[in-house]
Amino acid sequence: MINTIILDIGNVLASFDYLNYLEEKDLSDELIKRLCKATVENILWREIDRSDSDIMDEILISGFIAEDPEIADEIRTFLMNSYEIVKEYDYASDFVRALKKAGYPVYLLSNYGKANFKYAKDNFEFFKYVDGGVISYETGYVKPEVGIFEAFVKRYEIKPEEAVFLDDIEANVKAASDFGFHTIHFNNINQAIEELQLLGVKID
């Protein structure tokens, strides 16, 4: 029986649409392609989510710039303002509140670097309603690494088989399932609510 709900943030409670963000900056298609390749699509990107620095790490920035030195200024600007990419969904607070009203504790389990997470926590309304969470920078692990799931169950003394975890990334969902959680691969809010109900979660 499920008694706990665990939610990712990016593309579950808040959009992470970096292409749209860059397009709104009126950049050329070629520059957008190069920026994405050097940053978000770079394996180094997950190291941002591991960082516990209050500001963007200069060593990390240098690593991204090394991928395409010709656009160093654009890469730096993008990284220093990357907290702006994530925008809270209109439904996020109502979704969390509905789960809480139904009697479920709601936790967050998300990949986020400390510098960018501070902005989210200070500006997204749904944080008022969640019961807590584990963020990657706090643990040194990023999803889908098993260490972040171990840190979560240790902190909240939760039995994975009594919880359901929602995430938009298939690899993270599989890792959580392998760890013992019930899981939902999040595509949209209506699909997620339907699947929660199928698992016996009571939510209007």
- Whole-model pTM: value is 0.95
Q: Does residue 165 sit in helix, strand or coil? A: strand
Longest dimension (CA), the chain: 55
C-beta of residue 92 within 8 angstroms of C-beta of residue 125: yes
| Helix 146-156 with 170-179: angle, nearest 10 deg | 50
- Tell whether the model's pLDDT for residue 204 goes beyond 80: no
- Per residue in 1-46, pLDDT (tens digit) is 999 999 999 999 999 999 999 999 999 999 999 999 999 999 999 9
Which residue has tokens 């690494």? 145
Output the pLDDT for position 6.
Answer: 98
**Nearest C-alpha neighbor of 39 from the set 135, 113, 144, 140:** 113
C-beta of residue 154 within 8 angstroms of C-beta of residue 164: no
* Domain parsing of the chain, residue ranges: 4-15+88-198, 18-84
C-beta of residue 204 within 8 angstroms of C-beta of residue 97: no
Average pLDDT of the chain to the nearest whole number = 96
> Could you tell me the fold of the domain covering 4-15+88-198?
Rossmann fold (3.40.50)
**Nearest C-alpha neighbor of 13 from the set 144, 137, 125:** 125
